[in-house]
Amino acid sequence: VIQYGPGGPLARADEVLARVEAREAEVKSLKGEGRLTVDSPQARGTVTMLVAVEEGGRLHLETLDFFGKPMAVLVSDGARFGLFQ
């Protein structure tokens, strides 16, 4: 059984686009976690990276070491920024 959601099935591309744009307009913030890999002549390694962004230019980036401890934190309120390393 396919669950189409409250709007029912989508038959045309313009319907899909309209629904995506409507949902996109509701997004106020995003949070995520990923892996950042660096492979350069000076260094090589992978760290965990936490990212959070919010309307108004607010930003929080954090890199964690192998043990989950913060290595660097960059934050901004949209006008100023701070960096802890």
pLDDT in tens, 49-84: 999 999 989 999 999 988 989 999 999 999 999 999
Token representation of residue 60: 């929080």
DSSP run (H or E) holding 21: helix 13-24
Tens of pLDDT along 9-63? Answer: 888 999 989 989 998 999 999 999 999 998 999 989 899 999 999 998 999 999 9
HSE-up of residue 74 (Cα within 13 Å, Cβ side) = 8
